[in-house]
Structure 1
Amino acid sequence: MSDSEGQETAKNSQKPAQTGTDTKHVKPGTMSGLTQTPGWKFIVTGVITLLLTIPALLVWGLVEERADRANQVANSISQGWGQAQRINGPYLVVPYLVTEKHKDKYIEVRRHAIYSPDLLENTSDLVVEERKKAIYSTPLYHMKSTLSGKFAPIDTSVIISRNGRPRLNEAFLAVEVSDPTGFRSEVMASINNDDAGIFKPGLKGVNPTNRSAVDYDMYNPQAINAKSSGIHLPVAKEALQDEMQFEIKLAINGSRGLQIVPSGKTTKLAVQSNWPHPGFDGQFLPETRNITEDGFDANWTIPNLARGMSAVSLSDTLSSTKSVIKIGFVKPLKFYQLVSRTLKYAIAFFSLVFLSIFILEIAGKQSVHWIQYILTGLAMVVFYILLLALAEHIGFEFAYLIAATATTALVSWYVGTTLKSKNAMWLLTAIIGMTYAIMYLILKEDKYALLIGSIIAFAAIAVTMYATRNIDWSNGRSKEARTN
């Protein structure tokens, strides 16, 4: 060996051996160093996923704000038409006087005995239409109702048992109406097939069920608030001695929903409307119902046993509205609710997409920087804003299609370009597109949401475990490559 060859060999022996952490000789974009190992990258993507909940929550707040704005606009539309109505009655009210102690004195106080009808039949026809203001709309209705039935002869024994003195000549019929501004015509009534006249505003000192304070000073019977939520009609004393039949014609405007209190010992209710999406709620659901694209009709029969209330009440407040029939005129799954439900799956969606990118990164030769993960996550957050903005103008279905397509194309193109792989781009397109499609099915079939979500979560973790089974998490090489 020559002297020059010996010197070259000595120099080579003094050079440190190249390792996987020597970044000087690593191809740019490939995994190297502690911060680029699969284990570290997995932790970083998990932290980024959690941090993305912050902008997702801000979007959630935006959805709630827009929903509140829609409700405010709906209320402004309703103010010129009529709010959601509650009809409670009719009741036969008999005032009576009783002596009570007040401030160390005994004074005469005016009280009320409230009688429920033996039978109440309510037949209502509602014509519903949507009114728009800017981009918002709300359902308005015009209701025509016939309230008919009968009262039993007045039994004043319950009043006398309280040392009360009935004022039969001051008896009247009372009907609670939550928003009397909805009336557009007089309310006519007949008693025992004779014309009884026109109802007058107010409840003559009887409190509607939606008020906790009395409408008048019980110690000053003349101070009656006629603006209480209801109407009344004086009844002749002679009509109280025998069975009293009545019929009331009522026409009123309202919006969004209707509540009817079954005030009779036996209440029969029949409602028909042209609205194809009714929502039935309250303590009593319809016995029979028929819903078509042209509208619906529904029927209720409610006996006094189900109502659970006394036929005679010595009270200054009408019957409680806990026993109530509710009919809502709403669109199925309003898009604000759908967008909110979509946000509930945001973390799962971010995790699934990031797992897919992570696996593609491990399988390829290029590395995705953590900043690029953040940009990808922000693009997925913008999806929800785009969905909300479009849904207010073109409806949820088309908005979801456009927002999902745009986000899928953007994220797939960006990640595919970063990884320099068309195969990765098309594979990620398929994964994200399928995820959006499954999310849409979950939104439409809420009863299967947990089942579908759990299956997707299990499949995602199974695929990840299989794809990374041979990865050395400390340096990014497979176990086979390391042993070789």
Structure 2
Amino acid sequence: MKHPLFVKLAALAAVIVLLLIGLGLIEGVVHDRQRYRSITAQSVADSLAGPQTLMGPMIHSACVETWEVETGKGAELRMVEQRREFMLTAMPEQLRLNTGAAMEERARGLHKVNAFNLKAQVTAQWASLASLQPASTMKNSRMNCGAPIVMMAVGDARGIRTAQLTLGERTLALKPGTFHPAYTRGLHAPLPESLRSNTDGLTATLELELVGTERVSIVPLGGSTEVLMTSGWPHPSFTGRFLPSEREVKADGFSARWRLSSLATTAQADVGSGKPVCISSHGDGASEQAPGRADCADSFTVAFVDPVNPYSLSDRATKYGLLFIALTFVAVGLLELMGQGRHAAPLPVHPVQYLLVGSALCSFFLLLVSLSEHVPFGVAYAMAAAACVLLLGYYASHMLGSLARGIPLGAGVAVLYGLLYVLLQLEQTALAVGAIALFLVLTAVMVLTRKVNWYGLSAAAAPRSALAGSAQGGAA
């Protein structure tokens, strides 16, 4: 064979293509498991309650204005009644929410979903209810308005466990629904008609217990809104239009406080125009998802996230699979190359042996995702890495002809697994750490091969191939 080195490189390229196909199949398995977890989360939400939203309390009243207009002429002259339907809304001047969330883990099979039990004390104050006074738009029109209704909208009404509304010193009987055309899920209580002309202000207090899954959103509906949330969950994610002005996250939970003014948010105008609150849920009203931020009411969200999601971490790990294979193949090639010309030099490594080494590396990712479904991710990672390091170290000792060459390869693979685990734990600096580590590996390879005569390798490979062929003929 004239160019055995190039033939071997072509065979290694084919091996790498096969291993890439295997990595792609493993990545597909990870994505399937992620999809199953999403289906499980949706199943729990369908059976319990989905992500929740708190909006209110606010007071509204449906009105109808009617008037008559003349149509026709002469004998056909007649009066036709026309009407205009509209809604009057009174937003609170002061809105205070004191909430505490207790986590309740729910599981379906292997998959777990973070559910919560939220206990909220909501206090709303109105300076006056002048906005509930209807104004005629036509001369001699007649105005008819329904009784004022105080309402509280939620994302998923199935999550309401208990609720008690106090107006001043009086407790009101709550009923399901809101009688609001845009935010239909929640609860309400009719108010006396006499309150429409109340100029002394009004205070309502709502005690609410609400269950949901994964996250809760709050609409800052007051002229001044203050929200205090506490929970024993140590991994909150604060998203939405507003971050908390104060927050403290500890190992045993978190507390967060928001202070917002209507000068900083368009929530009152958004709710007045019926814009939905955009959260990832299904249903109507306050939990409906809108296409863009401009079409959504202002809100902020607290998500009870799991920072060690085994599927997302496994997915990130598989993206380093090609790098693992390439670096390991380089290490094997270096050990094969550096042993040439010495006594008891290692046997030439066959492409099939490269394929087996790469297959062992690929199996690590499959072991990782399967074990992480049963044990914590760190334990699963250690078990899968230890199994692969021991296997590769044992196999490399025979493949390279001595234990002294197999152990360094196993140690190098162990270092790679350690580096990968560090990268998986990092978020902001993962790219920088990975780039520096790759540069150091490249530096080491260049230093170790600085005196290699690459042109001489092809010439030296031919006699070895011929010698191997004659040895096989003699054995025959």
Unaligned runs of 5+ residues in structure 1 are 1-20, 22-32, 209-227
- Name 1:193's counterpart in structure 2: 169
* 1:248 equivalent among 199, 202, 206: 206
Structure with greater contact order relative to length (CA < 8 Å, sep ≥ 6): 1
- Name 2:226's counterpart in structure 1: 268
Describe the shift of the 1:311–1:153 C-alpha distance in structure 2 as closer, same or farther (beyond 3 A): farther
Structure 2 residue 409 is the aligned partner of structure 1 residue 434? no
Structure 2 residue 3 is the aligned partner of structure 1 residue 34? yes
Q: What is the CA deviation profile of residues 150-199 of structure 1, one whole-angstrom value per residue up to 9, with x for unaligned ones?
A: 123233499637669765542212221111111223x221223322x222
3-state DSSP class of the match of 2:454?
A: coil
- Name 1:400's counterpart in structure 2: 381
Q: What is the CA deviation profile of residues 358-386 of structure 1, one whole-angstrom value per residue up to 9, with x for unaligned ones?
A: 11111234211112212211211111110
Q: What is the CA deviation profile of residues 413-439 of structure 1, one whole-angstrom value per residue up to 9, with x for unaligned ones?
A: 223311212121011011100010011
* 1:170 equivalent among 147, 158, 162: 147
Unaligned runs of 5+ residues in structure 2 are 72-79, 278-294, 340-344, 464-476
Structure 2 residue 338 is the aligned partner of structure 1 residue 357? no
Q: CA contact under 8 A between 1:168 and 1:237: conserved in structure 2?
A: no
Q: CA contact under 8 A between 1:118 and 1:266: conserved in structure 2?
A: yes
Describe the shift of the 1:314–1:268 C-alpha distance in structure 2 as closer, same or farther (beyond 3 A): closer
Q: CA contact under 8 A between 2:129 and 2:195: conserved in structure 1?
A: no
- Name 1:339's counterpart in structure 2: 314
Q: Return the alpha-carbon distance in structure 2 between the equivalents of residues 161 and 49 of structure 1.
A: 79
Residue type of the alignment partner of 2:64: L
3-state DSSP class of the match of 1:207?
A: coil
Q: Return the alpha-carbon distance in structure 2 between the equivalents of residues 360 and 327 of structure 1.
A: 53
Hey, which bits of structure 1, 4+ residues long, moved more than 6 A? none
- Name 2:348's counterpart in structure 1: 367
Q: What is the CA deviation profile of residues 376-417 of structure 1, one whole-angstrom value per residue up to 9, with x for unaligned ones?
A: 112111111100010000111010001011111212222331
Q: Return the alpha-carbon distance in structure 2 between the equivalents of residues 106 and 386 of structure 1.
A: 75
Q: Return the alpha-carbon distance in structure 2 between the equivalents of residues 148 and 403 of structure 1.
A: 53
- Name 1:91's counterpart in structure 2: 58
Describe the shift of the 1:98–1:394 C-alpha distance in structure 2 as closer, same or farther (beyond 3 A): same
Q: Return the alpha-carbon distance in structure 1 between the equivalents of residues 133 and 414 of structure 2.
A: 72
* 2:185 equivalent among 206, 229, 232: 229
Q: CA contact under 8 A between 2:115 and 2:212: conserved in structure 1?
A: yes
Q: Return the alpha-carbon distance in structure 2 between the equivalents of residues 206 and 310 of structure 1.
A: 16
Q: Return the alpha-carbon distance in structure 2 between the equivalents of residues 318 and 363 of structure 1.
A: 67
Q: CA deviation at 1:277?
A: 1.8
* 1:181 equivalent among 158, 164, 168: 158
Q: Return the alpha-carbon distance in structure 1 between the equivalents of residues 180 and 429 of structure 2.
A: 53
Q: What is the CA deviation profile of residues 52-79 of structure 1, one whole-angstrom value per residue up to 9, with x for unaligned ones?
A: 2322122122112112212222333344
Q: Return the alpha-carbon distance in structure 1 between the equivalents of residues 35 and 93 of structure 2.
A: 43
3-state DSSP class of the match of 1:108?
A: strand
- The percent identity for this pair of structures is 26
CA RMSD of aligned residues (A): 2.9
Residue type of the alignment partner of 1:188: Q
Q: Return the alpha-carbon distance in structure 1 between the equivalents of residues 65 and 17 of structure 2.
A: 69
Q: Return the alpha-carbon distance in structure 2 between the equivalents of residues 253 and 411 of structure 1.
A: 50
TM-score by length of structure 2 reads: 0.81
Q: CA contact under 8 A between 2:30 and 2:311: conserved in structure 1?
A: yes
Describe the shift of the 1:290–1:317 C-alpha distance in structure 2 as closer, same or farther (beyond 3 A): closer
Q: What is the CA deviation profile of residues 118-165 of structure 1, one whole-angstrom value per residue up to 9, with x for unaligned ones?
A: 111011122112233332222222111111121232334996376697
Structure 2 residue 265 is the aligned partner of structure 1 residue 296? no
Q: CA deviation at 1:342?
A: 0.7
Q: CA contact under 8 A between 1:471 and 1:478: conserved in structure 2?
A: no
Aligned length: 424
**Aligned pairs (5 A) from 1:44-193:** 44-46=11-13, 48-98=15-65, 107-156=82-131, 160=135, 167-185=144-162, 187-193=163-169
Q: Return the alpha-carbon distance in structure 2 between the equivalents of residues 170 and 457 of structure 1.
A: 71
Q: Return the alpha-carbon distance in structure 1 between the equivalents of residues 65 and 273 of structure 2.
A: 13
Q: CA deviation at 1:474?
A: 4.4
Residue type of the alignment partner of 1:55: G
Q: CA contact under 8 A between 2:267 and 2:298: conserved in structure 1?
A: no
- Name 1:216's counterpart in structure 2: none
Structure 2 residue 361 is the aligned partner of structure 1 residue 413? no
3-state DSSP class of the match of 2:39?
A: helix
Deviates more, 1:60-69 or 1:309-318: 309-318
3-state DSSP class of the match of 2:457?
A: coil
Q: CA deviation at 1:308?
A: 2.6
Q: CA contact under 8 A between 1:156 and 1:166: conserved in structure 2?
A: no
Deviates more, 1:301-310 or 1:438-447: 301-310
Q: Return the alpha-carbon distance in structure 2 between the equivalents of residues 280 and 54 of structure 1.
A: 39
Q: CA contact under 8 A between 1:206 and 1:318: conserved in structure 2?
A: no
TM-score by length of structure 1 reads: 0.80
